[in-house]
């Protein structure tokens, strides 16, 4: 549970020492439950024995059995499971402090309470006149999770399923993700509840600028407050609109105005490699474990990436670049899945050509370089499965069908707690989202530093 321990260290608590081999202890099953005399006992998930004094809240106890729990409750459940395993380390680390046990316990509980709850949630609604004269009510959200470090950081997504529960969950994951990779930001997330494919570019620009202005007027964003970034259905274009709206209004006198968002085009202070960073991070995180003989022996694979087969779900920014790096380093693509279709390459697929085809057609359906297939190739036998679309796609009802040896979570929260338990029993190695897709926020941090320091990074 390295990720949560790092978050708590940022809040001033020194935890026990953790290494990268322990990062996935909750995701890789081990048969041994014996105490070897020198090490702490482990449960069937490979975790240290849970501290019986700390109890998961009653309202969350049914989460491990639910098919489709609320996203935020799933994140809360994972958080409390991690805390259970960290309690002994907390207690051990505070033994040398010159405080009473009662004081240490209050401090520990205060930090836990701070981290499990979000700081604030802003909901904005405004009427919008479309080019055809019709009016729509646009709903927008922005959540700040934990402000132990400022600014807070997280993307903005455009989708019809954006809601308060989703942005709260994603903001919490951003807190843990930032801490996992030592990025000194708190967590945040936002979104606009629209189908961007039903709006033209001019309409999307006006919506984006209005959202940016509303957030800035309420002092909810700023280079030292909250720094948004691209997410699902957004990119450099939307970030340029956001920056321009801020710089020409509320932020006209802000010397650091360029640091209001990351993921911008290069000519507006962006940084090379940001667009591909999240997908590249999915590859790099997987490659770390592929080169670990202990883990590969446990799941029955040979080390190294060469000749490993993979399937990608979602061919957006994350899925495309992840697939590109996997293929570039010797992997073989067996399928690409989108919401409405899937394709199965007959030979080595030209991923750049497929990406260009999707950009021009809006879909991968009908791509001439591969044959169409059913979306259930998600459950085909493969070495590496990369869910890079939306949350909670691996559930209790379908986790047992998965035949992959490794799941690299390119999406945020693609696995429910019930599905996680099934994957553990099947000895499937799951590389969690807060590590696997942290490449984007890591490079965003470099872009933010470039902007506030007013210098080029080369």
Q: Which residues are catalytic?
A: 189
C-alpha–C-alpha distance, residues 233 and 249, integer Å:
25
Alpha-helical regions (H) of 308-350: 317-328
C-alpha–C-alpha distance, residues 398 and 51, integer Å:
31
Q: Specify whether the CB–CB gap between 34 and 413 falls below 8 A.
A: no
Q: How many other CB atoms are found less than 10 A from the CB of residue 47?
A: 21
C-alpha–C-alpha distance, residues 292 and 302, integer Å:
9
Identify the CA nearest to 435 among candidates 404, 412, 419: 412
Identify the CA nearest to 303 among candidates 319, 285, 288: 288
Three-point CA angle 288, 294, 296, nearest 5° = 65
Identify the CA nearest to 24 among candidates 389, 436, 442: 436
Question: H helices then E strands: how many in the chain?
Answer: 13, 12
C-alpha–C-alpha distance, residues 26 and 90, integer Å:
18
DSSP assignment of 207-231, as one string? HHHHHHHHHHHTT--BTTTEEEEE-
């Amino acid at each position: 549970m390295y990720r949560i321990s790092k978050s708590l260290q940022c809040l001033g608590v020194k935890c026990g020492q953790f290494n990268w081999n322990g990062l996935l202890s909750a995701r890789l099953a081990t048969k041994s439950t014996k105490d070897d005399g020198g090490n702490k006992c482990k449960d069937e998930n490979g975790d240290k024995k849970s501290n019986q004094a700390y109890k998961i809240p009653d309202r969350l106890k049914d989460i491990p059995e639910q098919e489709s729990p609320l996203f935020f409750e799933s994140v809360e459940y994972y958080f409390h499971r991690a805390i259970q395993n960290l309690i002994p380390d907390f207690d051990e680390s505070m033994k040398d402090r010159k405080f009473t046990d009662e004081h240490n316990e209050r401090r520990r509980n205060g930090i836990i309470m701070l981290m499990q709850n979000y700081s604030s949630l802003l909901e904005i609604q405004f009427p919008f006149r479309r080019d055809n004269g019709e009016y729509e009510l646009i709903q927008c959200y922005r959540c700040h999770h934990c402000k132990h470090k400022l600014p807070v950081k997280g993307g903005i997504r455009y989708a019809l399923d954006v809601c308060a529960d989703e942005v709260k969950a994603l903001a919490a994951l951003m807190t843990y993700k930032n801490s996992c990779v030592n990025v000194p930001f708190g967590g945040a997330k936002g979104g606009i509840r629209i189908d961007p494919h039903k709006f033209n570019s001019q309409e999307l620009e006006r919506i984006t600028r209005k959202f940016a202005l509303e957030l800035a007027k309420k002092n909810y964003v700023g280079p030292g407050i909250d720094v948004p970034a691209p997410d699902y259905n957004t990119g450099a274009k939307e970030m340029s609109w956001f920056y321009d709206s801020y710089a020409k209004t509320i932020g006209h006198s802000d010397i650091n105005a360029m640091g209001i968002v990351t993921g911008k085009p290069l000519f507006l202070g962006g940084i090379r490699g940001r667009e591909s960073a999240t997908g590249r991070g999915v590859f790099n995180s997987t490659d770390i474990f592929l080169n670990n003989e202990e883990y590969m022996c446990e799941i029955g694979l040979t080390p190294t990436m060469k000749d490993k087969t993979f399937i990608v779900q979602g061919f957006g920014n994350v899925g495309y670049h992840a697939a590109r790096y996997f293929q570039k380093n010797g992997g073989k693509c067996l399928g690409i899945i989108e919401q409405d279709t899937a394709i199965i390459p007959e030979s080595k697929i030209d991923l750049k050509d497929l990406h260009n085809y999707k950009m021009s057609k809006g879909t991968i359906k009908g791509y001439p370089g591969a044959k169409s297939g059913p979306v259930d190739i998600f459950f085909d036998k493969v070495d590496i499965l990369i869910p890079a679309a939306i949350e909670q796609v691996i559930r209790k009802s379908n986790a047992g069908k998965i035949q992959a040896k490794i799941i690299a979570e390119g999406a945020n929260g693609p696995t429910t707690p019930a599905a996680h338990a099934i994957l553990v029993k099947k000895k499937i190695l799951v590389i969690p989202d807060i590590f696997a897709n942290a490449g984007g926020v890591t490079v965003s941090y470099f872009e933010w530093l470039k902007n506030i320091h007013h210098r080029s990074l080369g």
